[in-house]
Amino acid sequence: MTENQKVKKWVDWAVDLCKPNKVMWIDGDTKVLDELRNAAIKSGELIKLNQELLPGCYLHRSAINDVARSEDKTFVCTTKEEDAGPNNNWRPPKDMYTRLEGLFDGCMSGRTMYVIPFCMGPVGSPFAKLGVEITDSIYVVLNMDIMTRISPDVVKMLDSANDFVKCLHSTADLNEDNRLICHFPEDNGIWSINSGYGGNALLGKKCFALRIASYQAKQEGWLAEHMLIIGIENPKGEVHYICAAFPSACGKTNLAMLIPPEIYRKKGYKVWCVGDDIAWLRIGPDGRLWAINPENGYFGVVPGTNRQTNPNALATIATDTIYTNVVHNLDSNTVWWEGLDSNPPENAVDWRGEVWNGKTAAAKGAHPNSRFTTPARNCPCLSPEFENPMGVPISAIIFGGRRAKTAPLVYQARDFAHGVFVGSVLASETTAAQTGAVGVVRYDSMAMKPFCGYNMGDYFGHWLEIGKKLGDKAPAVFNVNWFRTDENGRFMWPGFGENMRVLEWILARCNDEINAIDTSIGYMPRPEDINTDGLGNKMPPMQELLRIDKELWQTEIKSIKEYYQTFGDHLPRQLWTELENLEGRLK
Ligand code: OXD
Ligand code: MN
């Protein structure tokens, strides 16, 4: 319970609307959480896995119509449509509140309402923000306990807080037709109904820490970004911090937990993970940009995680983890997924809950978007600065998409404003994993297209403003592309841990230790500036990886123009100038 009258009033209002049988406050008490876990095991919502092999680990299978973020059912409801921008679905707040009140009316009858005060960011940090999530799902309670900070200290903070984000959630009857994830940035509110999926239901994550926070950040002069944060320690023991934005499913968690190749490890290089998905960035007292990770855990994609791609993630998810929609190995009572090893279980149940034999089955056993929810404290390379209330100072910002031909392995923006341009035209090409044509360019500016809680044209303007305030203390901005392919469609760059070689060049640039070639698109390394020692048969064709195809870039300029036009007057004039300058340089 809290002393905060505003919170009490809001909870009372939610009780009147949702009509639960019982209300239960969650403050992180382990006895209470254990009881809830046991109740979920009893009802079948959770399966207790082999506690000798996977201590503290559980398996959950979602409804089969509820396995990913529902972008078409996600709305930003601002008074004026243009404030939401072409990047968001929009409805007038009044209309949406009326529809939601109808759906929430009595949705918790016969159920318990859980009230969870939570903190995004280290408790006591001036960067941190409070929320309260109301939900009727034990799975959501247990996931929120991993992903956010929940404790009696947080309840105490809430007692005297003026501000908190109101997060109302119900799984209701999981009816897709009535599924809605709605944001009311002007009221600090989120309403989500008919989904239990992480991105739709753990409202601290995408809904609060990105959509609502990006809106708050615009008002308050900071940035809420879809970025990992890592610290790279060099042999001298100095640590430089980098933020990186990649669209979903481009390997952010792998980069966030990177283990440097042996030749780097021998020299004393280490990579520390501060965050794998979200960064809140503010200008510090020294005028530099500082970042915290507002989350307390990782909600990562499971398939493809293995000893080669991400050994740190594999170690992290061996304990205290909730697995969602992976294969249940009935012989060992453990879990399996595609890409773990080449030894799928024969006596198993797939993510749909059906009998599955990995040796003979045609269909995949784990859902391609199956997930782990796991606490940050378990990560072997967790940064010692993870709980630092001031965060870490950022030397470089990296943007990266999935491009077969256009973008080279790496280039550096000419200055911060050019970096904003580079981030604004971040794009990925569709792969066979998506429906529709392959190779279509989709813009995902700063990897924030699905997560920016206001008009992206204004968001670009906000980035430029932050750049002006930072002046010559602004971090250097880079673009990377791990996904360039050869004429046979094979990736040219080995990726994963070897990405350290590109990070080394990026840091050398930040520290003014190496010259670069001034090209039409930005500053680039000479092929010999990327260290390829010890790559053996993974030796990449560096010339090809760094080639700029001017014709492709001219085509790119045409599609950037079309994209920019969608923002009308909201697109800052300065970005048009950056585009014209690029066009001029390419001639
Ligand atoms: C995520 C996403 O789940 O970006 O992190 O979709
Ligand atoms: Mn993400």
pLDDT at 432: 63
**Cβ atoms within 10 Å of 307's Cβ, excluding its own:** 10
Query: What pLDDT, in 10s, does the model give residues 380-435?
Result: 999 999 999 999 999 999 999 999 999 999 999 999 999 999 999 999 987 665 66
Q: How far is the CA of 533 from the centre of ligand 2 (A)?
A: 33
- The verdict on the CB of residue 225 being under 6 Å from ligand 1 is no
Catalytic residue, candidates 18, 250, 381, 452: 250
What is d(CA 339, CA 308) in angstroms, rounded to the nearest whole number? 10
Average pLDDT rounded to a whole number, residues 491-495: 95
Structure tokens at 348: 């198993």
pLDDT at 250: 87
Q: How far is the CA of 248 from the centre of ligand 1 (A)?
A: 5
Average pLDDT rounded to a whole number, residues 133-158: 97
pTM (global) more than 0.75 = yes
φ/ψ of residue 154, rounded to 5 = -65, -40
Residues near ion ligand 2 (Cβ under 5 Å) = 277
What is d(CA 453, CA 80) in angstroms, rounded to the nearest whole number? 13
Among residues of the chain, what percentage have pLDDT more than 70? 99
Q: Which residues contact 523 (CB under 8 A, 6 or more apart)?
A: 411, 412, 413, 414, 509, 516, 517
Question: How far lies 398's CA from each of 264, 401, 475, in Å?
Answer: 21, 10, 10
Query: Considering the chain, what is the average pLDDT of its residues?
Result: 96
pLDDT at 430: 76
- The verdict on the CB of residue 295 being under 6 Å from ligand 1 is no
Query: What pLDDT, in 10s, does the model give residues 329-340?
Result: 999 999 999 999
Q: How far is the CA of 569 from the centre of ligand 1 (A)?
A: 30
**Strands 112-120, 180-184: pairing kind:** unpaired
Question: Which of the four pLDDT bands, split at 50, 70 and 90, describes residue 7?
Answer: very high
- The verdict on the CB of residue 248 being under 6 Å from ligand 1 is yes
- Say if CB 379 and CB 316 are below 8 A apart: yes
Atom number, ligand 1, closest to the C-alpha of residue 199:
3
Q: How far is the CA of 294 from the centre of ligand 2 (A)?
A: 13
Nearest partner of 566 among 440, 425, 384, 361, judged by Cα: 425
Residue 379 falls in the annotated catalytic set: no
Q: Over 80: is that where the pLDDT of 155 sits?
A: yes
- The verdict on the CB of residue 556 being under 6 Å from ligand 1 is no
What is d(CA 67, CA 353) in angstroms, rounded to the nearest whole number? 14
What is d(CA 28, CA 74) in angstroms, rounded to the nearest whole number? 29
Q: Is the dihedral of CA 340, 345, 348, 354 positive or negative?
A: positive
What is d(CA 147, CA 294) in angstroms, rounded to the nearest whole number? 9
Question: How far lies 485's CA from each of 251, 409, 411, 482, in Å?
Answer: 17, 11, 17, 9
- The verdict on the CB of residue 199 being under 6 Å from ligand 1 is yes
Whose CA is closest to atom 1 on ligand 1?
Answer: 248
Query: What pLDDT, in 10s, does the model give residues 502-560?
Result: 999 999 999 999 999 999 999 999 999 999 999 988 889 999 999 999 999 999 999 99
